Structure 1
Amino acid sequence: MGAIGGIWRWRHNPLRRGTDLAEAWVALSALLLICLVAPVVGSLVGGAAQGVLQRSVREQHAARHEVTATVMRKAGAASLEADPETATGREARTRVVAGWTAPDGTARRGTVLSGLESPHRGDRFGIWTDAHGRLVARPLDSATATTHAVLAGLGAALLTAGAVESGRRVIMWRMVRRRYAGWDRAWERAGPDWGRTGAGS
């Protein structure tokens, strides 16, 4: 709003310099770009990210299957890597040797991380596998994908606004430098007579 007020104030002011009006127009243009362009960019980026992520969700849910594994025995003390997509650091994860039936009907067995606090032989828990029964990470869910898309759109809008503001600052800096250079030239022209009695009269 200050930019609009600045343009109106300098419109018919006899003290107005060309640079004053130019600075006000630059500020108003930057404000309009931030208010109009940044949201559009954020919406476009968020929409594109949403499309890509939701397609990934569908592909992962089509290719990954949740099956029930049965505990055969506890595994050794060596640790397994936690699933980076689902582990929160607070989940109790116990390493066990388990058996499961793959979606293609083959019997599988291996060492996996279970969410059971104190697993016993015969306990059941869910794991994710591909069509051949190989362990895979849990598929991305739709809500998480939407959250990532919203964050991508918000980040794009903020980056656009920051780029516009940076451009405005650079333009203003160059205009101020040009104004100071003009003042320096004017002082140099007035300098030889400055302070002399009767100078310029």
Structure 2
Amino acid sequence: MRAIGGLWRWRHNPLRRGTDLVEAWVALVALLFILVVAPVIGSLVGGVAQDALQQSVRDQRAARHEVTATVVRELARSSLEVDPDASGARDARRRVVADWQAPDGTAHHGPVMTSLNTPHSGDHFTIWTDAHGSLVARPLDSATATTHAVLAGFGAAMLTAGLVESGRRLIVWRMVRRRYARWDQAWDRAGPDWGRTGTGS
């Protein structure tokens, strides 16, 4: 991006090459894209993601229901389960057989996960089900959806800026290669007569 300052410096410089000015203009355009276009794209992507995720939040809240389940018995712990002593209390989950009633009134019985530390028969806890009583994940909350939308917008802006900068570097790299190729050709033309007395006279 140092070439941007060269735009003013190169205007009337007799040593200025055409590629110097082009390189400076490419850098200026790339900077404008990074400062203006990338944030706009990030904002648009974030807005679209926010709308889609908030709609998903509304759909999940309408389709998923929090019901109360009753512990029948605790299931034996599997060797594959995480040791609750080795993880945070928040991550400790127990597998139990429980009974619950679906929003449509049907009774259900089966194994579920509970956050009760020491589940006993008759203990109550909440689970999430669909309208027919099948177990589903907790619905997405609005704050989490907004966080995901912000991250999506930020990621889109960063990706756009990265692509613009990569394009600038590619253009400059190709210009430098052409410049070196022209120098080689000029050197080849001057090479046979280099150092000879009277050359160029």
Is the TM value for this pair above 0.5?
A: yes
Cα 1:26–1:10 shift into 2, 3 Å: same
Kindly state the Cα deviation for residue 23 of structure 1 after the two structures are TM-superposed: 0.6
Q: Which residue of 1 aligns with 2:116?
A: 116
- Give the SS at the match of 2:73: strand
2-structure distance, mates of 1:79, 1:53? 37
Q: Which residue of 2 aligns with 1:180?
A: 180
2-structure distance, mates of 1:184, 1:139? 66
Kindly state the Cα deviation for residue 4 of structure 1 after the two structures are TM-superposed: 3.3
Q: Are the counterparts in 2 of residues 80 and 95 from structure 1 also a CA contact under 8 Å?
A: no
Kindly state the Cα deviation for residue 162 of structure 1 after the two structures are TM-superposed: 0.6
Q: Which residue of 2 aligns with 1:160?
A: 160
Note if 1:50 corresponds to 2:50.
yes
Cα 1:103–1:81 shift into 2, 3 Å: farther
Q: Which residue of 1 aligns with 2:85?
A: none
- Give the SS at the match of 2:91: coil
2-structure distance, mates of 1:182, 1:3? 21
Kindly state the Cα deviation for residue 90 of structure 1 after the two structures are TM-superposed: 5.0
Kindly state the Cα deviation for residue 104 of structure 1 after the two structures are TM-superposed: 1.0
Paired residues, number: 196
- Amino acid across the alignment from 2:175: M
Show structure 2 runs of 5+ residues with no match. Answer: 83-87
- Amino acid across the alignment from 1:73: R
2-structure distance, mates of 1:194, 1:76? 91
Cα 1:89–1:170 shift into 2, 3 Å: farther
Q: Which residue of 2 aligns with 1:59?
A: 59
2-structure distance, mates of 1:101, 1:80? 30
- Give the SS at the match of 1:108: strand
TM-score by length of 1: 0.92
Q: Which residue of 2 aligns with 1:144?
A: 144
1-structure distance, mates of 2:63, 2:102? 13
Kindly state the Cα deviation for residue 39 of structure 1 after the two structures are TM-superposed: 0.5
Note if 1:71 corresponds to 2:71.
yes
Kindly state the Cα deviation for residue 78 of structure 1 after the two structures are TM-superposed: 4.0
Once the two structures are superposed, what CA deviation does each residue of 1:111-154 show, in whole Å capped at 9, x if it has no partner?
11000010111111110001111111111111111111111111
2-structure distance, mates of 1:81, 1:61? 30
- Give the SS at the match of 1:118: coil
**What stretches of structure 1 move > 2 A for 4+ residues in a row?**
1-4, 76-82
Deviates more, 1:100-109 or 1:154-163: 100-109
Q: Are the counterparts in 2 of residues 46 and 153 from structure 1 also a CA contact under 8 Å?
A: yes
Cα 1:89–1:51 shift into 2, 3 Å: farther
TM-score by length of 2: 0.92
Show structure 1 runs of 5+ residues with no match. Answer: 83-87
